[in-house]
Chain A
Amino acid sequence: MQLLILTVVLLTLATLGYRLGRGRALASTGGNPRLLHSLPSYHGYYVAMWCGLPALLLVAAWLALEPSVVRMLVMSGLPADVQTLPEERLALLFNEVRLVASFGKAPSTPAVGVAAEQYLSLRQLSFAAMAVVSLVAAVLGLTAAQRWIQADLRARNRVEKVVSVFLVGCSTVAIFTTVGIVLSLLFESIRFFNAVPITEFLFGLHWSPQIAMRSDQVGSSGAFGAVPLFAGTLLISFIAMMVAVPLGLLSAIYMAEYANPKFRAIVKPLLEVLAGIPTVVYGFFAALTVAPFFRDLGISLGLSVASESALAAGVVMGIMIIPFVSSLSDDVITAVPQSLREGSFGLGATRSETIRQVIVPAALPGIVGGVLLAVSRAIGETMIVVMAAGLAANLTANPLEAVTTVTTQIVTLLVGDQEFDSPKTLAAFALGLVLFCVTLVLNVVALHIVNKYREKYD
């Protein structure tokens, strides 16, 4: 709240700077804007920027640094016997201090109470200092920039320079995100592989990540062989593709080659609706309707179908992916040149012969690329499997049994778990790393194929 007020004050100052700068620029030429190098408004922006930017950057830097500085100060104020505690305990203790200070929780020890008070006063002091410093910076910037204003100041060029720096900065966010993903996954995974050998993780056949809460309990080690998860993921994705590829491809072919425009205009958006429904809804549908349906069907056929069968999750996931396959295939099929169709019709081929023997083979690379993208989507899909697939890590190829997947395990390992350093939670990052790598490779390959295909017919 205080921060909000400070920001508003700074922004108001910047607005003031804009008006001052504009007015001063006009005044410097006696009210004739034609004598200025840049438009008066650029002079205004110029002053506003000098006023607002340094101050806001200062606030941002302050906010980024403040927590660690405050923490250090608070911790050094703690009694000596507390300071010798191991790192994790210290972290927990500091967390408690924060809770006590922010939410008025009762402190467990007097030392914590003292520290909490110190924490609060430090925070307040820090904020006051930040407010003063940033306001001073803003006012300094404002007065200085206002003095620099004169008719031949290249205000526009300076403003545009800053804007272009801002644009470049924004465009690097995508790169920082990727770097962030890679680093966080890699960093935590390496810690995991220190506890569990990477070979065991990649090739082990047994997965049971339940670790005892205390290290002295028996059977505390847990097992982290991820092969059953990979197998389960592949099984469910395979079932999904068995549903999505034929249905998606055939609908795309019908839409592109047979349907009249009216039919297309109605049905295409309807199919797209399938892609717009949140996955959590599919998960609910799978668990509530589809899984019991398959189980009852199995019973009537004398088969035993698990209530969380891979089949149910896979089929529902396949439905979700249909529009993905169909819209990609539709694009690819319509990109096949009309001359090939005419060539085939001219030889007396029927429409289906033309489609099967000329158009689909011609569009095949694009279709394959699209299917690969769909596979990557199936592998990374989470909510459907979390809600409809099981948790038991069965190593089986039987679609009627329950299997678990990589994404399911990531969610299960992390949900509700506050402890961050156990192999159990770190395993989620290792699984995430595998998931990231696999989908990345699939996407790169698929995009490459699709682009190659586009070039061919463009």
Chain B
Amino acid sequence: MSALLEVKDLKVAYGSILAVKDVSLTVNEGEIVTLIGSNGAGKSTTLRTISGLLKPKGGTITFQGQRIDGKEGHEIVAMGLCQSPEGRRIFPRMSVRENLDLGAFLRNDKEAIEADRERVLDLFPRLRERYEQKGGTMSGGEQQMLAVARAMMGAPKLLLLDEPSMGLAPVLVDMIFETIIKIREQGITILLIEQNAAAALDVADRAYVLESGRIKMSGNASDLAKDDAVTKAYLGG
């Protein structure tokens, strides 16, 4: 296994306030890695920096052996690092079809795009039913499916999922996490940011625990799920 994504000593600031103080993490090819932590720990900031929306104050981010910190968002997407953003952020006035089209915005390989379209629609049959419906008129769960499907239309090598379970009914949360496993089976590496630590540790291979902008713990997900400190802080044990 080789490192697909490597984040080293990352520091990110909003103005003079350091939101991410010291984050180092590695995602190897084929893994599901989760980054858990409470609200405000710096999870989304880390992720936004990886995807190029924020510029780091220090540290490096390497994707497929290439430095990507300092690159523009669209260049990073073009390299195969796609994300389903926090709060879903689907295009509300566009249909499912148009949303998926935009997911493939940077691609020109028509046939491969069509193949991917079939693939994501198989993964989320619900979206096929809603194909011409406007995104904004769908339920929260359907919007989340669309957000993930849209990210997959960019042919990601690494898929970043930011809080995919946020605001969803428990049955939908299960469904989303089952799909995450299916996506990995298709050969896509996943970095999952979650507040729902129990569910995240359940599907992930490895995990990092983020607290006040620093990595507090890391290790195999199954080990962390049994760890006393983690259980106390994040699993309500």
Real complex partners, A and B?
Answer: no
- Please give the residue numbers on chain A whose beta carbons come within 8 Å of chain B beta carbons, in ascending order: none
Residues of chain B having any CB pair with chain A under 8 Å? none
